[in-house]
Structure 1
Amino acid sequence: MAPVADANPPSPLQLPLSLKSVAFLFEDDTSGPLWFKKDAFSNASFDPEAYISDLRRFVPFETLRAELRDHLGGLKSELVELINRDYADFVNLSTKLVDVDGAVLRMRMPLNELRGKLVSVRDNVNSTLLLLQDGLKRRSDASASRETLELLLDTCHVVSKVEKLLLELQCMPEDGPQPLQIEKNDGFRKVNSNNNLGEDHGASLEEPRSRLLERIASEMNRLKFYVARAQDLPFIQNIQARISTADATLDASLRCCFVGALERQNEVVIVHCLRAYAAIDNSAGAQEAFRSAVVSPFVQRIVLSSSGVAVPQRSDRLEEMFEDIKTHIQTDCLFLLEKAAASNSGLQVFDFLSNSILKEVLSALQTGKPGAFSPGKPKEFLANYRSSLKFLNFLEGFCRSKNEVGSFRASVAYTDFLKQWNLQIYFTLRFQEIAQSLDNSLAGPSATQKDPSKAEENKLGLALSSSITLWECLQRCWQDDVYIDAISDKFLRLSLQLLSRYGTWLAVGLAARKTGDANNHPGGEWALASAPEDFVLLRHDVELLVHVVKRSYTDQVLALLSGSPNNVRVMVRESLFLGPQSLLTMVPDLSDVLIEALTDKCVEVLKQAKGIVATYRMTNRPLPSRHSPYVTSILQPLKTFLEDDRYAHVTNEMHAELIASVSEKITSQYDVLARDMVSMARQTEASLLLLRRGARQRGAGSADTTDNVSDNLSDKICAQLFLDVQEYGRRLAALGITAADLPAYTSLWQCVAPQGMNLTS
């Protein structure tokens, strides 16, 4: 087969290689758009849909399709070129494919044989595996059955052994009363052994019993371990009655031996019994036995009588009772507490401190002295509560680490003991007592001054009884016979509430005083009934209270909270600083009440200056030569207040501020009044001048009157006012006020002074 002849028109598949090569030489490979990447089609991870979707975002679909068609045509041309270049090999390809089916059959036969062998081997392996797994399962079941059987045999053996040991224990002779030689050893009596068999007979009987009981307890512990592992088996359920009987017998015998050892105070026997209790995990039994045998007798003897009635010789105060209990604990319980707390004794599981001692004390108090927990008598309640805290601290002294102290405080007995003290009701009673005292003082008809008979109680120097009561209430919150550390936050809040209540009382009174109506401001009646001078005393008290609260009072509170964290102390200090801060905002208003009252009184005297106009208008007096009498009385109300002994609490600073404020207000009123008088006089003169000129023009032959005669009135008034202003300035100087420093006085001087006379001249 030969290539296609050149006679026919050449097609793309039939172009000669030389012509195609020449065509490709002049073809511009970069004529395609930049966005069309031909190399992307050769990528192994090429995704047509993703490729088209990416291009369609910025290339129109028709353009993309045309470009793809052009690329397809180019690929076909390349394929035709490759076929024409290797045309002989392409034609001979089909002639080389001879007997392909036969070769496939020859290859298939050995493969089928190999598959059959592999399937047979797999079946054999599976069957062997199943047999092996079945054998392992039967072996595991047999092992489990054997373990269960061994467990049951061991359980039966231990039960029998326990019963045998208990029978041996019962066959031992009972202890009789034997004389024992005893000595004191760290608060607990210890048996002294000697070679005398008669004297040591009691100890020789107790110790073997205790050792045997310890052995039985260890076996019983092992028995309980076995029973826990096989408790659902019928065999265990069948022997459960024997186990329960043995357990009850052991518990009764162990309790009897332990109680006897406690009564005889045999150290060796007690240790064996405690180890036995620990082995069977029955710490509650040992604690209850110690409570009934040792703790209960002396606690009941102290708190209760033999018949169970409260001992009548003492009241409900617990201090003496706790002291007696402490003494007995030191003598009768110290040894056992030290043994249980020893680091290497293995007896740390026992908590005799809370479950024996504290529990018994609480039970006895609930039965014999229930009134001791009643907050209805706050003084006795507080004394008993503090005695109980001292008792708890005494018990905590037996703890050897912080963990032990934490465990003791987390115990049920400790929690129940603290629950008996209802501190919330106690605080409510104290709150009513303190708050009612302040409310009664603030409910008075007016702001009354202190009682002279109570001058010794008012060491702070407060002026009014309401302020004194507030200070007493603030101190009362933190006094030793009221304050409790556990509710310190409540007393802090009460202190801030007292300050707030006092501030509200002042604010309502000032509002009622300002409006002159107490109906819209309930509780402000006192301000309307109080004298203006009382408000400056209120200001004195407010400033003094704020100063003391921020200093000595805060230090007193922080001293009581010395055990609190630093951040708590910082917050307390900030709250006590912010609490009285609102009182300081009322200081200007308190001063303004007296300033306005004194100013009104002085201005009332000043109004007499209006008579100067009438005096010189109605009479033909000459120019004045001395000041008017009213001037000496203008500042008299202010001087009267300053010299009154009832207001001796007012400090010099407050005096100076008061004088300055009142003087400035009076001088301003004086300036306004003088200018009105001068202006009115000059207007009157101008009117008279017009009338006289009109009369001269209308009536001939009238007397010749010059225009200067009309000027006498304003000149005389200004001259009189000038003399008065000078005297007023001297009066201000007597009070310590430099008149020239007052802008209103300067304005007044310029209004009435003769022309050319300066204030400083």
Structure 2
Amino acid sequence: MSKDIESYPLPVGPNDLCFDKNEFIKKSFSVDQFLQNHRKTANLETLRDDLGIYLKVLRSAMIELINKDYADFVNLSSNLIGLDKAINGIQVPLGQLKEEVLQVKLNLDEAMEDLSCRLDQRRQLRARKRSLQSLARVQSSLNKWSELLHLDEEGTNMQRLQLDPGLVERAASEFNQLQFCISRCETDLTENHKQRAEKIRNLLTSSLDGMFLGSLRNKDNEGMTRCLRIYVTLDKISDVESLFRREVISPALHDIISEASLQSDPRGLQGVYARILGFIDSHMTHLLKLTVGGISFWPEIEQRLELHLPSIYAPGNPEMFYQRYCETLEFLEKLEKYCGTQAGVKRLHVHPQYAAFLQRWNLPVYFQIRFQEIAGSVEMVMIEGSANTLSTGSETKDFHLRTTTTIWNSLLHCWSNGVFLHQLTHRFWKLNLQILARYYTWVGEALEERWSSNNSGSGETLCTERLHFLVYLYTDVEKLIAMLPTLLYHVINQVGSLSQQAQELWRGDSLKDSEEQLTTRLPLVTQFILGEVSGQSLPHLKQVSDIPRLFRKTNREMPIKPCSYVNQVLTLPLAFHASQKDVVKSDLLQHWLTLTFSAITQQFYGSVDDVLTSVQKTEESLRRLKKIRDRSAATTSSEVKGNGDDDKIREQLLLDVYTYCKGVESVGVDRKKVDKLEELVTLVESARGKNEANK
């Protein structure tokens, strides 16, 4: 019934409705969600009207449906009369049919169970027959080998003779068949059978071991090949490897791998490794050719290195640890050549003792020592303070500050021969990023550091040293940023070939962040440089306000030279230019001077404007007094005398501004690029021009 309702088509409504009619028949329909979804597409009034229209459509469709099936609705009750009697009439036959079906099912289950039992009995009989046949073959084979190997009934070799190589090879092939038959009749074998088979196996093994060791001593390659073929036939590869380790490798390495051998060898560990490789070349060359990918030599070598040379793993001396670890890696690379194929190399790498051997080299401890060594030198030079970090000039050709020199040397030191290990690439790269981040922090600390005059002489000397330091700091940061790609190139050369994608990840995801971080320090250093230069010059501009007092009622002559404060204002910027023109790029120096003069000029303009405004107000006051009093010519001459003082003030300001402009232009700065300088010149010129016009 529910399926019919879901599949029943909804009546078609108008096309301009603001909702989809199919939303009402979804199982997940929710009134709140419906209103939420259509609130943005239509307002509530429109939604109400559309719902009312569609409700009328549904009602019309319901009426049509009732009218269509009206006869069925009316006859429904009459069609159900007598249905209960019909149902009761079929209950009895259905119950009988159910019992018959259950009986048939029970009979089938009994037949299946009986059939399964008979099949199990048949399988057991076949297994028993096969076991007895195999037991007969075992008995026959044991009797045959007893006669062939001269064994008595208990399986003892009475003659104690060494078997012939041809007989051993034949016996090994047939012994495999005997082992197969024994595996198929385990339940019927007697203890006597097992003992006789074990005696035969031991006799074959001892004879084969003797043949194999004899072939090694006599360097009989053909006999060695035959023995290995027999071992393979008997599935005794692990046994022959153990034999070779025990009888050949272990005695030979006893005197090679030891502390006494390490101390006595002039080449140290490298000499020990060389003698191990010499032993392999002289005693195992043909054997390794026969056993492609064989690594029978490795377990014994690793075990003796662990037990008899534990001192080589100690990371307390990083230089010695580095040397011995590199020698060990070189030794392992040479060992891989004896594996013959890539499959053999892979077998060596996945060998448990190979992984254990590499883990004994405590690389994290080695890196921690190097970290303390490198990071310690960086922190030591930073602790000295910015005032003591000026490089002597002989330490580096690239930087001026000893801190930056130490930073760069530390970055390169991480990848230098004698320090860098390929397995610690990620750790050394992280250390590089940490050093750069620490340098970024130090730059900020150096800028905020207060310089004491106790160790720097006078305040003027202190200011000069502080300014030199800031300039050196800026140039060092700029050079360091420019040299970071060189660092990456050096790293890639040390690490080895990297894919283009890997290089982009290194350059883009990590080094680029460090570059951008350091770049943000340059504007801050510039601000401190400008503040240092302009901060020493700006106090002298206070003397501008004293100019009126120099001329009012003093009967001084018309000024013909600038005031002394102008030279005082220009002294530090000009000295800064002279001292840094050979250190800083010309365009950067011009930029700094332009900003410095802009800061000075803005305050200069304000001071001059204040003085001229005051002078103008004084003149206006005098004119008003003249009109009010309207006195005699004596008063007029007094007024002219006052105006003469104001003219001198304007002339003095004009001379000062012109001298200041000459000073700005003397260091190559374009006066048009200096903020407020053109306005300042116009201000003083206009002030004098207006006064002359008023006369």
1:434 Cα deviation after fit: 0.8
Using the TM superposition, name which of 589-598 and 249-258 deviates more.
249-258
Render the CA deviation track for 1:595-618: whole Å, top value 9, x for unaligned: 101101122333333331210124
Q: Is the 8 A contact 2:650 2:687 kept in 1?
A: no
What secondary structure sits across from 2:476 in the alignment? helix
Name the TM-score, length of structure 1 as normaliser: 0.69
* Aligned positions of 1:304-383 closer than 5 A: 304=258, 312-314=263-265, 317-341=268-292, 351=294, 353=295, 356-383=296-323
What secondary structure sits across from 1:458 in the alignment? coil
CA distance in 1, matches of 2:583, 2:672: 30
Say whether 1:148 aligns with 2:100. no
Partner of 2:408: 471
Partner of 2:95: none
Say whether 1:497 aligns with 2:434. yes
Structure 1 unpaired stretches of 5+: 1-34, 36-54, 77-124, 175-204, 342-347, 518-526
Of the three residues 218, 221, 236, the one matched with 2:176 is 221
Relative to structure 1, the CA distance from residue 655 to residue 60 in structure 2 (aligned partners, 3 Å threshold; closer, same or farther) is same
Say whether 1:665 aligns with 2:599. yes
CA distance in 2, matches of 1:579, 1:565: 22
CA distance in 1, matches of 2:650, 2:621: 18
Of the three residues 590, 594, 617, the one matched with 1:683 is 617
Of the three residues 739, 746, 761, the one matched with 2:671 is 739
CA distance in 1, matches of 2:622, 2:110: 149
Relative to structure 1, the CA distance from residue 222 to residue 577 in structure 2 (aligned partners, 3 Å threshold; closer, same or farther) is farther
What secondary structure sits across from 2:189 in the alignment? helix
Of the three residues 261, 274, 299, the one matched with 2:253 is 299
What secondary structure sits across from 2:496 in the alignment? coil
Say whether 1:67 aligns with 2:2. no
1:722 Cα deviation after fit: 1.0
1:146 Cα deviation after fit: 1.2
Q: Is the 8 A contact 1:678 1:714 kept in 2?
A: no
Q: Is the 8 A contact 1:608 1:630 kept in 2?
A: yes
1:472 Cα deviation after fit: 0.9
Render the CA deviation track for 1:310-357: whole Å, top value 9, x for unaligned: 55424894112212222222222111101112xxxxxx6xx2x2xx32
CA distance in 1, matches of 2:596, 2:443: 23
- Look up the equivalent residue of 2:70 and give its one-letter code: E
Partner of 2:681: 749
Of the three residues 652, 661, 680, the one matched with 1:729 is 661
1:580 Cα deviation after fit: 2.7
Say whether 1:386 aligns with 2:326. yes
Report percent identity of matched pairs.
25
- Look up the equivalent residue of 1:149 and give its one-letter code: L
Render the CA deviation track for 1:65-112: whole Å, top value 9, x for unaligned: 982169969x99xxxxxxxxxxxxxxxxxxxxxxxxxxxxxxxxxxxx
Q: Is the 8 A contact 2:481 2:519 kept in 1?
A: yes
CA distance in 1, matches of 2:255, 2:298: 16
What secondary structure sits across from 1:376 in the alignment? coil
Say whether 1:395 aligns with 2:378. no
1:756 Cα deviation after fit: 9.3
Q: Is the 8 A contact 1:375 1:381 kept in 2?
A: yes
- Look up the equivalent residue of 2:71 and give its one-letter code: L
Relative to structure 1, the CA distance from residue 219 to residue 684 in structure 2 (aligned partners, 3 Å threshold; closer, same or farther) is farther
Structure 2 unpaired stretches of 5+: 1-10, 12-57, 80-107, 453-461, 691-695
* Aligned positions of 1:132-143 closer than 5 A: 140-143=123-126
CA distance in 2, matches of 1:586, 1:571: 24
What secondary structure sits across from 2:608 in the alignment? helix
Of the three residues 565, 570, 576, the one matched with 1:641 is 576
CA distance in 2, matches of 1:158, 1:747: 123
1:153 Cα deviation after fit: 2.4
Say whether 1:277 aligns with 2:228. no
1:502 Cα deviation after fit: 0.9
* Aligned positions of 1:520-531 closer than 5 A: 531=466
Of the three residues 510, 528, 534, the one matched with 2:469 is 534
Q: Is the 8 A contact 2:262 2:272 kept in 1?
A: no
1:582 Cα deviation after fit: 0.5
Relative to structure 1, the CA distance from residue 610 to residue 420 in structure 2 (aligned partners, 3 Å threshold; closer, same or farther) is same
1:708 Cα deviation after fit: 4.8
1:464 Cα deviation after fit: 0.6
Q: Is the 8 A contact 2:391 2:400 kept in 1?
A: no
Q: Is the 8 A contact 2:444 2:521 kept in 1?
A: yes
Q: Is the 8 A contact 2:534 2:600 kept in 1?
A: yes
What secondary structure sits across from 2:209 in the alignment? helix
Relative to structure 1, the CA distance from residue 718 to residue 422 in structure 2 (aligned partners, 3 Å threshold; closer, same or farther) is same
CA distance in 1, matches of 2:288, 2:350: 18
What secondary structure sits across from 1:714 in the alignment? helix
Of the three residues 466, 469, 486, the one matched with 2:423 is 486
Render the CA deviation track for 1:518-540: whole Å, top value 9, x for unaligned: xxxxxxxxx99982431221111
Name the TM-score, length of structure 2 as normaliser: 0.76
Partner of 1:560: 494
Q: Is the 8 A contact 1:617 1:713 kept in 2?
A: yes
Using the TM superposition, name which of 673-682 and 582-591 deviates more.
673-682
Q: Is the 8 A contact 1:302 1:324 kept in 2?
A: yes
1:692 Cα deviation after fit: 6.4
Higher share of residues assigned helix: 2
Partner of 2:213: 259
Partner of 2:99: none
1:677 Cα deviation after fit: 1.6
CA distance in 2, matches of 1:714, 1:701: 20
Q: CA RMSD in A?
A: 4.1
Q: Is the 8 A contact 1:316 1:371 kept in 2?
A: no
Relative to structure 1, the CA distance from residue 579 to residue 163 in structure 2 (aligned partners, 3 Å threshold; closer, same or farther) is farther
Render the CA deviation track for 1:340-388: whole Å, top value 9, x for unaligned: 12xxxxxx6xx2x2xx322222222223321111111111111111111
CA distance in 2, matches of 1:592, 1:132: 102
CA distance in 2, matches of 1:754, 1:436: 64
Q: Is the 8 A contact 2:385 2:446 kept in 1?
A: no
- Look up the equivalent residue of 2:541 and give its one-letter code: L
- Look up the equivalent residue of 2:240 and give its one-letter code: A
- Look up the equivalent residue of 2:669 and give its one-letter code: I
Partner of 2:543: 608
What secondary structure sits across from 1:478 in the alignment? coil
Say whether 1:407 aligns with 2:347. yes
CA distance in 2, matches of 1:285, 1:70: 93
Aligned residues: 595
Q: Is the 8 A contact 1:211 1:272 kept in 2?
A: no
1:503 Cα deviation after fit: 0.9
CA distance in 1, matches of 2:67, 2:463: 98
Say whether 1:212 aligns with 2:215. no
CA distance in 2, matches of 1:133, 1:69: 59
1:136 Cα deviation after fit: 6.7
Give 1 or 2 for the bigger CA radius of gyration.
Answer: 1
Relative to structure 1, the CA distance from residue 601 to residue 334 in structure 2 (aligned partners, 3 Å threshold; closer, same or farther) is same
Of the three residues 372, 383, 399, the one matched with 1:462 is 399
- Look up the equivalent residue of 1:630 and give its one-letter code: Y
1:279 Cα deviation after fit: 2.2
Relative to structure 1, the CA distance from residue 419 to residue 607 in structure 2 (aligned partners, 3 Å threshold; closer, same or farther) is same
